Amino acid sequence: MFKHILVPVDLSDRHQHALEVAARLARESHGEVTLLHVIESIPGPWAQERDFYKRIAELAHNHLTSLGRTLEAGQVLGRKEVVYGNRAHEIVCYALEAGIDLIVLTSRRIDPSDPNAGWGPVSHQVGILSQCPVLLVK
């Protein structure tokens, strides 16, 4: 059913469960998984700091390669992409342009005792804005 699955990740190590879920879904449908990292563009004088962005891009590529080993181990076809811009916007645009069937995102748990806190994470923004189905993995 889901032939092209997108897994947006940051540089943390909290995405393993989402990656495993995406790999399982891709394997069942003989699909592929794209790992996407968005480097947030910082307005102002940093916008011209090529070395700064180059170092972040290198970190991102290394991190995606490390995460990609999970896909390889599960014999799932995968690709890695790094883009620049606003995270939620770029994820939604990438999904639309690449013909993504499903976005699988790590999402932090909302504290029931304080339901108003935490409604601004990227995962929730993508869930609202995306044109394709979104699976939030907690």
Query: What mean pLDDT is predicted for residues 67-95?
Result: 95
Residue-range domains of the chain with CATH? 4-108+115-126 (3.40.50.620)
Q: How many residues does the chain have?
A: 138
Reported as half-sphere exposure (CB side, CA atoms, 13 A), residue 17 has a value of: 9
Token pair for 52 = 């700064």
Query: What mean pLDDT is predicted for residues 17-41?
Result: 95
Nearest partner of 10 among 117, 133, 126, 130, judged by Cα? 126
Distances, alpha carbon 137 to alpha carbons 2, 18, 103, 107, 134, in Å? 16, 6, 10, 6, 10
Query: What mean pLDDT is predicted for residues 97-116?
Result: 82
Instruction: Identify the band that residue 60 occupies on the pLDDT scale cut at 50, 70 and 90.
Output: very high
Name every residue whose Cβ is closer than 8 Å to that of residue 46 and which is 6 or more positions away in sequence: 52
The reported pTM is 0.90
Token pair for 133 = 């189905």
Predicted local confidence at residue 49, as pLDDT: 75
